Chain A
Amino acid sequence: MDDAPVVTPAAPPRKPIWKRPVSRRAVLATGAAGAAATALAVLWKGNDLSQILDHVRDLTHGYQGALSSERVRIAHLLRRAGFGATKAELDRYAAMGTTAATQSLLNYQQTSNAALEAQLPTIDPANANNARLVGAIQGWWLQRMAQTERPLEEKMTLFWHGLLTSGLDKAGPAQLFTQNQLFRTTALGNFDDLLKAVSKDPAMMVYLDTETNRKGKPNENYARELMELFTTGIGHYTEDDVRESARAFTGWTLSGAKQLRYTTQSLFVPRLYDAGQKTFMGKTGNFTGDDIVEKLVPLRATAERLSARLFTFFAYGNPEAEIVHHLADTFQNSRYNVGAVVREIFTMDAFYSDKAYRALVKSPAELVAQTLKVTGADAKGFIAAANAMAPMGQVLFYPPNVAGWPSGSSWINSSTLLTRINFANAATRRVAAPLPAQSVDQLTATLVDGNVTTNTREGLQAFAAAHPGDQAGLLFMGLATPEFQLN
């Protein structure tokens, strides 16, 4: 460490970092906090602080101050807490102001989603053998993302799907549909409740093999990933902890297991449960799976890992140790309430700092949902669009492996970028209703906050001039800009 001790002059007490716009200077200036932050950073990422500071330095860009405009703050918030906005939605939330808009997004249970529910196709999980069910549930979810009145509810559902992964490579579509409802209803609830429910969720039980985990025949798959990926992360448990906790998760099985992929009910069968003593993280007892969850969730490593994951999902990658620390405190002080952490993220100045602006790459789900918001689609269109996500690297209900989708720069390579652009082209050609005539400025105001490079603006203007009347073509050009690829 080459951080020289900082002599702090007598000065008014500083606001903590999570209440200030984050700049490189702010991070560098956290003298006393520096040592603790370093220790945390080493614990968390294994990086030293200088690497983190280098990263902060890399994130300066030409949009300084973009988020000082309230309308841009609202657009930023709707991209992060949801899937972007139409002009009408932007107008409506902007009229509320940032504070009320944030409250409205967080307290979504007070918002009726009846209009969406009336639009959605009926999904009948009992009709689980239907080969078309996969496409149906993918289109159904994408339609929810594009048309929901509760954007954060769908965004959190996507978050949980990417963290507590299950996929169609093992589980059946009816099971994933059931799991998706679980994520939606417990989206901002307590993490221990969610993990207990997920441990008994049929899609998860098939995906990570708990349905075969029996007394005398333990299967380690779920126990290992619960610790490595869902809670503490690697380095906080031993191989013995994996083996012992696998025994604790025995007893739960699927009813009517003849057609394993089609069962959407799980049940506890006492004779399959290993009621013997297990030694887990230094304690011995007749632990159940719920007991294991209750031991893992209060651990500081779990709090920090989930906090960092949420912040990275909503704000920017590689959060400062101080921010992670604060969010982890929030998590622990709220009895593991996820909603409390998310609320804290959306009210942090760091969330609206220059560093956060366009600091994420739109995932295919975000890109496609926002595109469909702008172009509109019918039920068939949503299914087709869900299919079109595959070559972008994201298939709903089918994460690449148990670690979920990689994010950030992983979404962009030569193949996926061409696919994203070609999708925008196809989507704008599918628009049924004639698009209203709009200027380049109106277009960029809705799609990308009106914040575009000179090259982008000139390119769009040149296209509009050369192709008068081709509103779909111009919209495609707007969706194909590099600005729109970012979130």
Chain B
Amino acid sequence: MFSRRDFIKQGLLPVFAGSAVPSIFANGVAAAAADAPQATNGRILVLVQLAGGNDGLNTLIPFQDGAYHDARPTLRQDTGVLTLNNQLGLHPNLKGLKASWDAGQLAIVQGVGYPSPNLSHFASMSIWETASVQGGIGDGWLGRYLNYLDNVGESPNHALEGVSAGSLVPPELRSKTPVTALQSLQSFRLQPINEHGTQVDVENPLMKFYGAFKTAGPAPFGALLDTTLQQALQASHALQSTDATYQSMATYPAKSAIASSLKLVAETIVSGLGVRVAHVTLGGFDNHAREKPAHDKLLLDLDQALAAFMQDLAGHGYGDKVLVMTWSEFGRRVKENGSAGTDHGTAAPMFLLGAPVKGGLYGEQPSLANLDNGNLKFTTDFRSVYASVLQGYLNAPASDLLGGNYEILPLLKA
């Protein structure tokens, strides 16, 4: 007798009488089990969004520049800067990233931004998420990458190739390809009914309710509910079958949301189900007032979580397969405001972390003497960084996916 899970593993689950097996099931886990990507070579990109606008000048610090100290009378980092060269250093709380730098596994692109910067959080996020200076609600730039994998037959075509930690699917991953939002592996399952101590399975009735809702329910949400339930059950079964085997190979900081998110992503990656792109968010960077204690804490939290994540992945043999990239919708105003904080700004550094990178500084540090309305002038277009990752790491056609040609930076090993 086959168990229900066996059916699902083989893509043979009879969803309900009279219906074809949805392709998402048929191709999904069976393909994932075979999981033999070609061009992607099993490579995984993990995006870390620093939401709210990270203060780039207090992250990669031009500690020798008098203008920095003048502009930041209360916010400047006077001591403990982790020097990278005789001009620039990392915030004192970024000790893990400094260790990666020393090991040649941290690339920093300086002064990243785009023309005519938008100082609205949401407009600027949308620009970064869609890789289009028009912004808008179209597919995300990594959603387009997932679609590309589909189109060239490289996609494992199951619900876990794109994952995000949290309750929402981030706009970067938006496309027709399903993406799974994960909050915990334990909760990512359908609970049975407890009928006087007897566990009653509810999957079959729910599959029946939802299975024809794509066509019988109202558009556009009928299709959304139908495919989402199927995707959820498929991903849930795949994850439950591996859940028990994961042991973290690092100690993640306790009581840290970003650490929990990264641990969840690590667990999903090492379960070998074919994750291609993952997304986590650390919020709280919109420090208009009393920035220093808040920002110091955020960077410490980020650094410790990333250090544990990289150690965990390396311990599971995924060190060579994972690239981490940070981004934020903008940096902050050069001159601090009257609230010991900073208002919305423009260009800021991006960090690329992991064995695949060629460590070092890239691009050009923006001048503090030559500002635009008090804001930094960007020196590298963020789409150039995206193009470098798409082409140099994910072996994807960057120009097609970004709708233009951008300079490829030698950030990554071949």
Q: Footprint of B on A, CB under 8 Å?
A: 46, 58-63, 169, 208-209, 212-214, 216-221, 224, 228, 234, 239, 242, 357-359, 361, 390-393, 400-403, 406, 408-410, 412-419, 421-422, 425-426, 429, 453-456, 458-460, 462-463, 467, 470, 473, 476-477, 480-483, 485-486
Contacts and interface: CB of A to CB of B under 8 A. Distances in A.
Which 9 residue pairs spanning A and B have beta carbons closest together?
Answer: A217-B338, A212-B339, A61-B218, A414-B232, A393-B167, A459-B208, A453-B216, A415-B181, A482-B225
B168 A406 contact: yes
A217 B183 CA distance: 41
A473 B195 contact: yes
A418 B205 contact: no
B372 to A, nearest CB: 11
A402 B218 contact: no
Best-buried of A58, A221, A402 by chain B (most CB within 10 Å): A221
Contacts of B286: 221
14 contacts: A61-B222, A219-B288, A219-B339, A393-B167, A409-B224, A412-B221, A416-B181, A417-B225, A421-B202, A455-B208, A459-B206, A459-B208, A476-B193, A480-B202
Interface string B228-264: 1101100110000000000000000000000000000
Contact of A219 (B119, B231, B284, B337): B337
A139 B392 CA distance: 51
A11 to B, nearest CB: 32
Nearest to A61: B218
Given A414-B159, A419-B187, A403 B221 contact: no
A214 B361 CA distance: 39
B341 A357 contact: no
A58 B341 contact: no
Best-buried of A220, A221, A418, A480 by chain B (most CB within 10 Å): A418
A455 B209 contact: yes
Nearest to A219: B339
Contacts of B189: 418
Contacts of B340: 212
Best-buried of B209, B229, B289 by chain A (most CB within 10 Å): B209
Contact of B16 (A408, A410, A455): A455
Contacts of B213: 453, 455, 482
B190 interface: yes
B7 interface: no
A330 B232 CA distance: 44
A239 B289 CA distance: 19
Best-buried of B179, B181, B228 by chain A (most CB within 10 Å): B228
B195 A60 contact: no
Contact of A473 (B119, B200, B236): B200
B228 A414 contact: yes
A470 B206 contact: no
Contacts of A221: 286, 288-289, 343
A417 B182 CA distance: 11
Contact of A401 (B136, B159, B187, B283): B283
Contact of B221 (A219, A228, A358, A400): A358
B229 to A, nearest CB: 6
B246 to A, nearest CB: 18
B221 A455 contact: no
Contacts of A242: 119
Contacts of A169: 283-284
A394 to B, nearest CB: 8
A391 B219 CA distance: 25
Contacts of A425: 191, 193, 202
B77 interface: no
A214 B339 CA distance: 8
B164 to A, nearest CB: 9
Nearest to B123: A234
B81 to A, nearest CB: 27
Contacts of A417: 225, 228-229, 232
Contacts of A239: 119, 373
B289 A418 contact: no
A399 to B, nearest CB: 12
B120 interface: yes
B205 A459 contact: yes
B172 interface: no
Given A393-B167, A473-B193, A480-B202, A213 B373 contact: no
A462 B221 CA distance: 25
B180 A455 contact: no
A412 B169 CA distance: 9
B212 A217 contact: no
Given A213-B338, A220-B343, A406-B168, 14 more contacts: A59-B220, A60-B219, A62-B217, A224-B119, A228-B120, A401-B121, A416-B181, A417-B228, A454-B212, A455-B209, A459-B208, A463-B205, A473-B200, A482-B225
B194 A429 contact: yes
Contacts of A224: 119-120, 344
B168 A393 contact: yes
B226 interface: yes
Contact of A467 (B51, B200, B226, B228): B200
B351 interface: no
Best-buried of A217, A455, A458 by chain B (most CB within 10 Å): A455
Contacts of A467: 195, 200
B165 to A, nearest CB: 10
Given A217-B337, A402-B121, A359 B218 contact: yes
A215 B194 CA distance: 63
Interface string B123-135: 1000000000000
B354 interface: no
A470 B121 CA distance: 50
A421 B191 CA distance: 9
B9 to A, nearest CB: 18
A242 B288 CA distance: 14
B212 A453 contact: yes
Contacts of A480: 202, 206, 209
A352 to B, nearest CB: 15
Best-buried of A213, A410, A462, A482 by chain B (most CB within 10 Å): A482
B28 interface: no
Contacts of A212: 288-290, 338-341
B63 interface: no
Nearest to B226: A482
A454 B208 CA distance: 10
B211 interface: yes
Contacts of A483: 217
Contacts of A429: 194
Interface string B271-291: 000000000000110101110
A359 B221 CA distance: 8
A219 B181 CA distance: 36
Contacts of A220: 288, 337, 343-344
A234 to B, nearest CB: 6
B58 to A, nearest CB: 18
A218 B338 contact: yes
A487 B302 CA distance: 39
Contacts of A60: 219
Contacts of B221: 358, 361, 408-409, 412, 485-486
Nearest to A487: B221
B222 to A, nearest CB: 7
Contacts of A408: 221
